Structures are given as structure tokens and as C-alpha cells.
Chains A and B, each alone.
Chain A
Amino acid sequence: MEDRKTIRKWFWVWSFEEEEDWLNEMAMNGWVLESVSLLTYHFARCEPGEYSVRLEMHSYDETYLSFMKETGAEYIGRMAMWIYFRKKTADGPFDLFSDIDSRIRHLDKISKMLAAVGAANLLIGIANSFSPARLGWINLLCATLLMYSLGRIHGKKEALERERLLHE
């Protein structure tokens, strides 16, 4: 029986929760995430349900990683702006966010990144539209997609803010 497997999979930025659900489903089926590379997930065999897996958008921050380690979470790796952690379920519940405010802050972080990359693509796209190569449309397409992502993330944030009106 194989001890390792690699799956290539694509998730849109607004489906990071689905990505996390999928990784936990894999762990429930005896495959825990061991490392990540571009659009690629590497799994190792584990006892079914032995681990919980969590992911979040976080810029490079050594202090945060050592803080997470102190709390018993194991850092798996980074894929672009996303970092992945796991923790044995026997060591207690594992969440990255436990209140609405910090979930909203996380979505804000994602929005800022999308807006920055989106604006850069828009500018490059406009500039390239006047260049002889005429490849500006690629950047404009990227910018459109990033703005759409921004809208999806904003929708999630609004739902949380409505909830925040009544409780924390």
C-alpha cells in the first residue's frame, strides 16, 4: 500500500473554506497533508481523523509561526500567500479564529491583497495595451478575475458583519 500521494488541485481564492474542508476530509480518510507546492498537495498516511488541518492567508512572519508552534500547531508549509497548519485531534480542538472580529480581519487581509494585485494588473494591462506586443488583455483579464474575487470575499465579510451586529 502506498504511503504517500500527491494531488494537483485548483481552488479559487473565495473557496478557501472548501479547500480546508477538503483537506480535513482527506485526513478523515487517512491522508494528512504533509507539504504543499504550487497547486499541489502532498499527503502522507495517517490514522483516519488523527489530524485537523487549517489554512489562512498570512504574509511571511517568523514570530507568528513560532507562536503557533507554542500552541501545539504544526506548520506544514506555504503556497503563495497561504499557510497550512495541522494538529493532532487528540491534542484538543484546532481553530485559527474563534471570534467574528478576527474572521473579518482575515477577510480584510485577503481583500487588501486582491485589491493590490488587481490594481497592479490593471495598470500593467492598460500600459501594455499601447505596446506593440498587444498582450495587455492578459493583465486586464487577470484584473477582472481579481476584482470578481474581491467581490466574493466582500460578500462573506458582509455576512459576518450582519452577524456581528447581534453578537461577537
Chain B
Amino acid sequence: MSEGFALTESTYYILLSLVKPRHGYGIMQLTEELSGGRVHLAAGTLYGALNALSAKGWIIQLPTDDESRRKEYRLTAKGLQALKIEVARLRELADNGERILREV
């Protein structure tokens, strides 16, 4: 998952959800809402992705004073940059698809 590679659908929606601080369940709900119920993030997959994205420095876990509270995450500047690059890449894919299919 390095810069220049396509993000997975899960990663893309996780990053999109974390433009604002959110906890795990909040990410699952927003992803489902944004995709009209099409993309369902399973908890184990999400947990693995959050750890990988934290290790990569694309998201950070927000500090809490209360340990029992749900842990919240937010996008870092690096994560935001990666997200913007991905949106541009997806636009290129969709534009090309539409342009070529118009001629069919």
C-alpha cells in the first residue's frame, strides 16, 4: 500500500470517513451510508486497516483522558494528500470509462 498504488475500497472509505474524527463504529456506519449500503466494513477488516493506516502515518488515534471511552481516529496531512491523489485517480478511471462507453 504505497503511494502511487490504488487504494482498496475499504481503505478509501476509511480515509474518507476520517476527514472528521470518528470511532470504529462511526466509520462503519458512514461507509454504509455513503455507499448506499453497498460497502459493508467488517470489524476485523476495519481493525487491521486502522492499525496499518496508523503505522503508515495516514491516520492518528486521538488521545483520550478516559480509557473506557471509544477510541477516535483522524486523518493526518499525509493521509489527506493520499486521499486527494486517489480521488484524482478515480476521476480519471470514471472519465475514461464514460468517454469510451459513449462511443459504443
A67-B24, A72-B25 as given contacts; A56 in contact with B44, CB under 8 Å:
yes
Q: A2 within 8 Å of B by Cβ?
A: no
Q: B48 within 8 Å of A by Cβ?
A: yes
Contact A102 B48 (CB under 8 A): yes
Most B CB contacts (10 A, CB to CB) among A73, A98, A102, A105 go to A98
Q: Which of B40, B47, B71 contacts A95 (CB 8 A)?
A: B40
What is the bound-complex CA distance between A71 and B25, given in angstroms?
5
Contact B45 A98 (CB under 8 A): yes
What is the bound-complex CA distance between A64 and B51, given in angstroms?
11
Q: A3 within 8 Å of B by Cβ?
A: no
A60-74: CB near B (< 8 Å → 1, else 0) gives 000010011011110
A67-B47, A102-B48, A168-B8 as given contacts; A97 in contact with B24, CB under 8 Å:
no
What is the bound-complex CA distance between A72 and B45, given in angstroms?
15
A134 CB, min distance to chain B CBs, angstroms: 44
Name the CB-closest residue of B to A100: B8
Which of chain A's residues have a CB closer than 8 A to the CB of B46? 71
A99-B9, A99-B10 as given contacts; A70 in contact with B42, CB under 8 Å:
no
Which of chain A's residues have a CB closer than 8 A to the CB of B89? none
A66 CB, min distance to chain B CBs, angstroms: 8
Which of chain B's residues have a CB closer than 8 A to the CB of A72? 25
What is the bound-complex CA distance between A73 and B28, given in angstroms?
13
Contacts between the two chains (Cβ within 8 Å), count: 53
Contact B25 A98 (CB under 8 A): no
Which of chain B's residues have a CB closer than 8 A to the CB of A18? none
Contact A96 B10 (CB under 8 A): no
What is the bound-complex CA distance between A96 and B25, given in angstroms?
13
Name the CB-closest residue of B to A103: B45
A86-100: CB near B (< 8 Å → 1, else 0) gives 000000010111110
What is the bound-complex CA distance between A56 and B40, given in angstroms?
19
Name the CB-closest residue of A to B8: A168
What is the bound-complex CA distance between A71 and B43, given in angstroms?
7
* Interface pairs (8), CB distance under 8 Å: A70-B24, A71-B24, A95-B43, A96-B42, A96-B43, A98-B41, A99-B10, A102-B44
In the complex, the 9 A-B pairs of residues with the closest C-beta atoms, listed nearest first: A96-B44, A98-B42, A95-B42, A102-B45, A71-B43, A98-B45, A71-B25, A168-B8, A70-B70
Q: Give 8 A-B pairs besides A71-B43, A73-B43 with Cβ atoms closer than 8 angstroms.
A: A67-B47, A71-B24, A72-B25, A95-B42, A98-B40, A101-B45, A102-B42, A106-B44
Binding site for B on A (CB under 8 A): 56, 64, 67-68, 70-73, 93, 95-99, 101-102, 105-106, 168
